[in-house]
Chains A and B, each alone.
Chain A
Amino acid sequence: MPYVPHSPEDVREMLNVIGVNSVDDLFAEIPADLRPKSFDLPKGKSEMAVLQKMEKLAARNTTDLTSFLGAGFYDHFIPTAVDALVSRSEFYTAYTPYQPEASQGTLQAIFEYQTAMARLMGLDYSNASVYDGGTALYEATLMAVRKTKRRKVIVSEALNPIYREMLDSYTGNLNIELVTVPHNHGRTNIKSLTAVIDKDTAAIIVQNPNFFGSVNDFTDLFATAHEHKAVAIMSTYPVLQAVLKTPGQMGADIAVAEGQSIGQPLSFGGPYLGIMTCSKALVRQMPGRVAGRTEDGEGRTGYVLTLQAREQHIRRQKATSNICSNQALCALRTLIHLCLLGEEGLRRTALLSIERAHYAAERLTSITGVDLFTKGPFGNEFAITLPVNAFEIVDKLTERGIIPGCPLGRYYDGLENGLLISCTEKTTEEQIGIFAEILRGAI
């Protein structure tokens, strides 16, 4: 029987020690009327047969298309050494580091990850990660509500719509009022956002670059938020944080991000990585695991989980959050990826992605009827408007081997002709050229 080592002799000896006649006797407390009505599961298969079945299933997915899909989830190159290192079983078969002396590898890696994230965001502190960027944003919102004891949360409509939907679900039963401020042709509407901040505002939430790729400076907006004692929350794209003015420099109190783009495969939606960093003043409101540096009896440096008094296993219903598992292995992937790239490599990745996007914007908007929708500076992503419905174009081009991007009409009424296009350092000028030519022929 797979993965169970006991021989019949072992089983007999164990039953003798217990003092029962059969394994069934150990389940005697489960009354007959609680026994399964059915247990109609397939018969087990050999490892080879399961692998063959899974290979067949994998082959039914198309992954050889040239894709310009992004919308918050990006196909960046992952250095080979990332997989090699996280495959070390001491990392991936370990549990949450409840016994720190036996988990120094995981704990130091978390400490280093926290350092990398705090630096990337220009903020003081980071946790050891949460499930994904959307969870990070919702937890940040709850931090602000707890801290300010207010219930109004202002959200930019240029925030990733997937996260706005998640925010809606999670706050549905809570006494929180979400106020959404419309975008302005793909730009975050700073003027309108500033105008609605008042003394009841717990938090203001914006994204940089925003969902449409537009790059902004929120310094003045955040200053207004602080005048009203509201918490400034910014969602970001960590690759571009290599080059962009940081949330910390703009005065954000909390910065969150989806960390998938540094080290995680797209993997059809997960596992991803919720990055969460904050200022000193908010650290005790921050959910999840945190590793801290300390010493042993001989003065040697070591690491432990700390600030645990906020957590569910100590505070139960009074905990800052219910989060227990985090994304430690994903955080490790991100840390290793960042170390392999280094400062210069990360900057290059960001710049190459931006460079390719600007080249794509130039090529695509040279087509009659195609206009740039995202006004002002943008990063590795931008929106265009087409003379026809974007869903139809996406369908047509996909048949020809290119996914041209994400149709904006999926999320925004009135933008049915809009297409969000993303590039990374993996996108080649040749691919962009082919895309432009096929698009020209299709409209």
Chain B
Amino acid sequence: MKTVFKKSVLGREGVWPEEPKSNIEDFIPAELLRESAGMPSLSELDVVRHFTKLSMKNFGVDSNFYPLGSCTMKYNPKFTEQVAALPGFARLHPAISQLKGAGRHCQGALEVIFETERLLSELCGMADFTMHPMAGAHGELTGVMIIAAYHKDKGNKKTKVICPDSAHGTNPASASIAGYEVVSVESNDGIITPEALAEVLDDEVAAVMMTCPNTLGLFEKHLPEIVKMIHEKDALLYYDGANMNAIMGKMRVGDAGFDVVHLNLHKTFATPHGGGGPGSGPVGVCEKLTPFLPVSRVKKLEDGQYYLSYDAPKSIGFVAPFYGNFGVYLKAYAYMLRLGREGLIRATENAVLGANYMRKRLEDYFEVPYNRTCMHEFVLSAVNQAKNGVRALDVAKALLDKGHHAPTIYFPLIVKECMMIEPTETESKETLDCFVDDLIEIAKLAEENPDFIKNAPVTLSVSRLDETKAARDMVITDDIN
């Protein structure tokens, strides 16, 4: 399909504003001006049709099952979109809260922030939350910055952060960008053992970053001992909340001994991810870390009025221009109110139920490297299929032909030909069965007719795309031929 630039017809009128009265040269000298900006000229219908057609080339949760492990692509209820679009929220200028009498004109918005922080604090068993971080990885960075500020304040000289070999790539990247040396700890039969941790845990360690259940879908059953070991070194324990959907109401990370946690609201709290974002990555901390949270913070006066406080001398400062992705976490707040205590617990229970059901149904057809009770996701390996030349990637593409989005592939890195499947609680048994049946059929085809699978997908607007060519030729704008 032609790009929108190639569809441009000079002189065609879109949504033009009224005619200005003057010329730009009346205000700004010619030497400070440019010629054309190269934007396309199209009619409104041209634009509407172009983007409608583009949308039809996409899989979304509303049209396709999306069992992407560690991404928690559950159904996003529709009413939350209406909430975020309410003019009282959408039209509110953030700086209005910073004028004199701060907060007078935005009590509703401040209450949303305050209440969301309270709900998340209770959910996670943390003392406080900040809504500033604008994505999960941004939450990680904010969390590690808080950890660094804590150690600096105590006079601790610590230079390292430990990440398991199964960790999301963002964990080591965030620790590194915050100025730490990253040390890996190996998992043992899928989980971290106290013995393996002891080998790398020394006085220089500022923090250990963990995901629990981890990216293999397994609960870290040595957690109590690990927590103790880490705290004895005056290191802090960081919880990557990507897998929070597995434990709501079953474990609170604060009660379990974690000091810092980030959540991915677009995952657990059902706010759409928009093809890559925006997200929202609030960070919760235990009491001793509260002074280091980013500014500003929403506080409540005795008369029930909310205000913004900048009085935090130990704060790490501003990590976002204002209060994070307000429009995103509004949706998460509304979602939490809708589900309530029982609904959140039920979500977790059914997410875990669905994953275990699929694991059991697939165990005879694919290698299941850690075949025991999993949490909300599990990993399969296509090692058996690979003997016939059918790799995890091929299985993924064959699933696209069946109308399912593929699982996460080649991650976690410690499993060969890995496929990480996460069904989520919102998918019906019929959908799970359909996916499993299709996957079993693909496993059979991988034996009988492997070439058929290696040619997938054949039903979409394009077949297998040449990623090497994209990297080598690097055409990333429409202006280079």
Closest chain-B Cβ to A376's Cβ sits at a distance in Å of 9
Asked if B326 is at the interface of the complex by the 8 Å CB criterion, the answer is yes
- Stretch of A10-18, A187-195, A221-229, A431-439 on the interface side: A10-18
Contact A317/B15 with A111-B478, A293-B470, A336-B51 known, Cβ cut-off 8 Å: no
Among A58, A106, A272, A403: residue with most chain B CB under 10 A:
A58
A163 CA / B462 CA spacing, docked (Å): 42
A1-B346, A73-B94, A94-B273 given as contacts; is B177 within 8 A of A352 (CB)?
no
Bound state CA distance, A134 and B138, in angstroms?
Answer: 13
Select one of B39, B174, B344 contacting A346, CB under 8 A. Answer: B39
- Nearest residue (CB) in B for A267 is B327
Contact of B332 with A by CB under 8 A: no
A289 vs B256: C-alpha distance when bound (angstroms): 35
Q: Residue B425 at the A interface, CB < 8 A?
A: yes
Distance from B317 Cβ to chain A, minimum over Cβ atoms (Å): 3
Q: Which of A44, A77, A108, A344 contacts B1 (CB 8 A)?
A: A108
Residues of chain A contacted by B101 (CB below 8 angstroms): 395, 398
Q: A47-B79, A410-B98 are in contact. Are A115 and B5 (CB under 8 A)?
A: yes
A96 to B408, CA, bound (A): 11
Chain A interface, number of residues (Cβ within 8 angstroms): 210
Task: State whether B13 touches A36 (Cβ < 8 A).
Answer: no
A112 touches B276 (CB 8 A): no
B427 to chain A, nearest CB (A): 7
Asked if A412 is an interface residue, CB under 8 A from chain B, the answer is: no
Point out the residues of chain B lying under 8 angstroms from A23, CB to CB.
349-350, 352-353
Of all chain A residues, the one with the shortest Cβ separation from B277 is: A325
Query: Of B22, B148, B255, which is within 8 A of A34 by CB?
Result: B255
Q: Which of A129-145 contact B (CB under 8 A)?
A: 129, 131-135, 142
Chain B residue with the shortest CB-CB distance to A425: B17
Q: Counting CB contacts under 8 A, is B201 at the interface? A: no
Q: Which of B77, B175, B466 contacts A296 (CB 8 A)?
A: B466
Within 8 Å of chain A (Cβ to Cβ): is B241?
Answer: no
CB pair A355–B476 under 8 Å, yes or no, is: no
Please report which residues of chain B, range 168-195, place their CB below 8 angstroms from some CB of chain A when the two chains form the complex.
Answer: 168-170, 172-179, 182
Most chain B beta-carbon neighbours within 10 Å: one of A118, A301, A339: A339
Residues of A within 8 A of B321 (CB): 72-73, 132-134, 162-163, 166, 258, 269-270, 272
What's the least CB distance linking A273 to chain B, in Å? 8
A77→B250 CA distance, assembly (Å): 47
**Complex contact B341–A75 (CB within 8 A):** no
On whether the beta carbons of B318 and A166 are closer than 8 Å, the reply is: yes
Contact A304 B105 (CB under 8 A): no
- Distance (Å) between the CB of B16 and the closest chain A CB? 5
Complex CA gap A346/B82 in Å reads 28
B66 to nearest A CB, angstroms? 6
The reply to whether A39 and B341 form a contact with Cβ atoms under 8 Å apart is yes
Interface bracket on B: 35 or more
A243 and B107 form a contact (CB under 8 A): no
The answer to whether B276 touches A106, judged by C-beta atoms less than 8 angstroms apart, is yes
B435 on the A face (CB < 8 A)? no
User: Of A41, A86, A297, A298, which is within 8 A of B344 by CB?
Assistant: A41
Inter-subunit contact A344/B477 (CB<8 Å)? no
Task: Check if A162 sits within 8 Å of B111, measured CB to CB.
Answer: no
Contacts A39-B249, A268-B322; A59 near B88 (Cβ below 8 A): yes
Q: Are A245 and B320 in contact (CB under 8 A)?
A: no
B364 CB to nearest chain A CB (Å): 12
Q: Is B301 an interface residue (CB 8 A)?
A: no
**Cross-interface CB contact of A336 among B47, B58, B77, B163, cutoff 8 Å:** B47
Q: Could you say which residues of chain B place their CB within 8 Å of the CB of A109? A: 51, 54, 275
Contact A99 B119, CB 8 Å, known A79-B15, A269-B323: no
The residue of chain A having its C-beta at the shortest distance from the C-beta of B467 within the complex is: A304
0 or 1 for each of A239-263: is its CB under 8 Å from B? (1 = yes) = 0011111100100000000100000
Give chain B residues whose Cβ lies under 8 Å from the Cβ of A85. 47-48, 51-52, 55
Contact with B along A274-310 (1 / 0, CB 8 A): 0000000001000001111111111011111011110
Asked if A319 lies at the interface with its beta carbon under 8 angstroms from chain B, I say yes
Distance from B190 Cβ to chain A, minimum over Cβ atoms (Å): 12
Of B62, B85, B170, B478, which is within 8 A of A89 by CB? B62
Give A18 to B411 CA distance when docked, in angstroms. 25
CB distance from B215 to the nearest CB of A (A): 12
Q: CB distance A298 to B463 under 8 Å?
A: yes
Would you mind naming 13 contact pairs between A and B with Cβ atoms under 8 Å apart?
Answer: A3-B339, A23-B349, A42-B341, A44-B343, A109-B51, A135-B138, A215-B28, A271-B325, A304-B467, A309-B471, A322-B140, A346-B39, A348-B20
For the complex with contacts A41-B341, A283-B474, A293-B470, 18 further pairs of A-B residues with Cβ separation under 8 Å are A5-B427, A5-B429, A41-B123, A53-B337, A54-B330, A94-B58, A95-B275, A102-B400, A115-B5, A241-B37, A265-B327, A267-B92, A293-B476, A300-B462, A314-B169, A322-B170, A339-B40, A343-B37
Which 9 pairs from chain A and chain B are nearest by CB?
A329-B274, A269-B322, A44-B340, A58-B88, A328-B276, A60-B108, A169-B317, A271-B278, A105-B58
